[in-house]
Structure 1
Amino acid sequence: MINLMYLVFIAMLALNMSKEVLSAFGLMNERLTEANMSAEQRNSAYMAGLAEKATEQPEKYVPLKAKADEITALSADFDAYIESIKTDLKATVKDDDMSTRNYEVMDKPDYLNQTFFVGDKLTPEGQQFVDNVDAYREGVLDAISDLEGEKYDKIRSDINDKFDTAPEDRRDGVKVDWLKYHYEGFPMIASLTKLTQMQSDVKTTNTEVLSTLLEGQLQSDVSLDNYEAIVVPEKTAFFSGENFKGRVILGRFDNSMTFDKVTVNGNDIESTQAGQVLLDFPAGNVGEQEISGVIQYVENDSVKSIEIKSSYAVIPKPNAAVISADKMNVVYRGVKNPMTISIPGVGQANATAPGLTSAGGSGKYVMDVTTVQGREVNINVTGSLPGGETVSDSKSFRIKDIPRPVGTVRGEDGLIKMQRNALEISTIGAMIPDFDFEISLNVTGFKFNVPGQPTVVVNGGRLNEAAKNTLRRARRGETVQIFDITANLAGASGYRLQKISPVFVELTN
């Protein structure tokens, strides 16, 4: 009798352990689902940025967007297919058990056993699952087959590892069919978690490809091989009989660069200074004139040649104002927009517009349209020619708000990997990526969330004690969120910024 009671006691302990394992799988599935939602948002942001770049620079980014669209479509289709299997799987569980997270009832392997297997063979549904995994793997590998580099080699290796459907070696050395090895006989909650993990692998693959595509283009942009020679005239138009004066520079201006040979319009140019070629030759007759030639320099022990190709206009006399924004073709609220306003041939031009003030110096102005209503502003310019004749002109500029800022931790945005103690002492900030103006944003508060913990409201730019205490309860590998960041614009605290994008931190310890 004592031995029998001991066996019953051991069986009860095993039963309790089984329930705890089932609950652990359920919690893991929840965490993976949350991480997948964050990955989906991140991938959507990548695609939105790529779409904007493709609109702004179609020759450079349209091919990248086409490849990104192809891979994103493959990922979305495969993710939706996995989601349909999970939906059917969860439909076998009562709604009350799902809503109350009663994962202990999901201990039977019956549904997938009956759906995927019949005896020692696969059902048509089981074979379809394997075929879809193979189709996704080969589809993505084919889409990136023409991309070269160590990062793409690693992505290809990861794809082959994560989505390999070759037979698996069992512990006893016997080879087992991949689908049977991973899904036959497992509790329902374990299979559900494995399917969610596969969705995570799909989204991670999509993220790695998208980020590498953009990173590769940015690296290409900073290579001198991709730069063109730019002719910068001293002024935009010249009178007949004048000498053309200007400069030829490379797109990436470098004061330390020297040129081996420069030829413009068939003549060798000897006048060079601080990475620039100084031009001085007769402007020519009235009309459009061409500038052509070649500029040569040495890089990595080889001679690089860049074609010079530009044009300029020679006019008999000025009859219209030339107005240009120093940094862009629009003006922004909340910042001081530098403007250069002049009329060719007129020594001093007078410009008027709401928010426009002189910045000192010939033709230099600053425009502040923070309080200007509407989406456009007109600049009116008048001037007097040497003979006393008055010329005038006007031009409309679009008014835009400052782009949406993004939240940062230690100056990094998006998804960041960081140690817990580093996050405790890090500064929460905000910045506007790729904005032409250097502005400072002062963070005044934010919300801090650890999965499974209440959200903490923080004043200032660093974690308070409540946030630090919440952070200490986070687990390694969890992603904490910093959102609803509030900030004001330095020097224009009354300006209302757009909603600041959140920042995510994956804890590495």
Structure 2
Amino acid sequence: MAGGKMSARQKMINLMYLVFIAMLAMNMSKEVLSAFGFMNEKLVENNLSTAEKNALAYTNLATKASEQPEKFGPLKQKADKVKEYSSEFYQYLADLKSKMTADIEDKDNYEEMDKTDWLDAYFFKGDNYTAEGQEFLDKMDGYRNNVLNALGSDSKFAPVLNNRFSTDDVVDQETGKEIPFLRARYEGFPMVASLTNFTQIQADVKNTESDIISDLLGGQLESEVSMSNYNGVVQLDKNAFYPGDKVTGSVVLGRYDPSLKPSRVELNGKKYDNFKDGSVVLDLRAGSVGEKDIKGTIYFMENGEEVPVPFKSSYSVISKPNAPVVSADKMNVVYRGLSNPISISLPGVPDKDVRASAPGLQKTGSGKYMMRPKAGNTVSINVSAKLADGKNVNTKTVFRIKDIPAAMGTVRGQFGTVRMPKSGLANTPIGAGLPDFLFDLDLRVTSFKVKVPGQLAIIVNGSKLNAAAKKALSKARRGDIINIFGIQAVIKNNSYKLKKVLPVNIELTN
């Protein structure tokens, strides 16, 4: 091929041969490409597992910091910074991987990820780096330096961070020359190799988090599991007891563990041996009415010595009730046509053991009822309750039933006689209201009559003056009293018919 003068055809054949040889040298085998892909899958799976473990460790540290801020607060601050820097860098790498494989339809076909052009164009521009290539280096350096600053320059993790996230030049093993990090690791590499490389960096990030959080917690956790750091917690079955009742409940450790067995228990100054599954089972008798204390000490064996864990609580003994407490939330009466709120309860008795019944009575919540009275002038609410000792209490409470009082016509929200100009009345709607009534009712005027001095009364449908009423009003003079009467009104979303609506008068000021 090298000797003699070659024709154009021969030159073309030689050129194609050289290109073919170059392609063979550049293309990896399908097996190698697939191996990179499978390695990437394993790394992705491992990153998910490590992320879950790290999340649990962060939660554990947060709990410790809330319990003992002086000991664990500074450690949590360091951990939070490491978490923040790690999450930011990890997401940057995830976005970079997504961009790189955006045009790949089958993300699992690693044999087609043999091209080098995407990352070469993304990171490199001639002998220089693109803005994206420089950003990658800055992100790597920034993560390493930020974590080191958070931990302190003397941290034992400095060598690990400098090794895992180094961007120093790489020495070529064949030539001995130094090659810039970015070119040595990413220029001319198949896409699947770079994809796996980025996933490996993500794994380094997650492992770095794991190493740091484990180290931060490690030293403190050993001392925190000591029995001297536990507190006894009294859990009573209820907060109040009747004279003669059994005081039932349990005393457990703040860090409950069924496998823990106390060596002995002192309760109210006496030896007590009724304990089970890590808790002291209370079985006492309530005394006279008043506030009672439960206090004592649970002893545990630790390193051959007894460690005391004190506990203290209190409960109330109240007189046994003989009647429930029933009250109307609005008044001592209930109004026909309205939903009247009623509260029914019995001190010391759970709501589930209280039963109330009456015509129109409906339960709406714990101890809360609504009463819509039926016909008649009174309604009786019958209440029955089952006490803790099994006895039943029954009572009856009578409420008066009253109609909604007469409403009053209004102009501009004012009752009685209202002074205003004639021009204002022409466009002002007529309203109705119930002054000083305990319920807020939305009244809507449907019709009324207007009487202007010297003019016939005019019937108006609706709440504003019609044309005929305005014409009559135009003949009124200053000082005239315009009478609005025969007002008909309804309650919005209520079928109850109001008995009466009192009139309203307007004294014209001009």
TM band (smaller chain): 0.3 to 0.5
Larger radius of gyration: 2
| TM norm structure 2 | 0.43
| TM norm structure 1 | 0.43
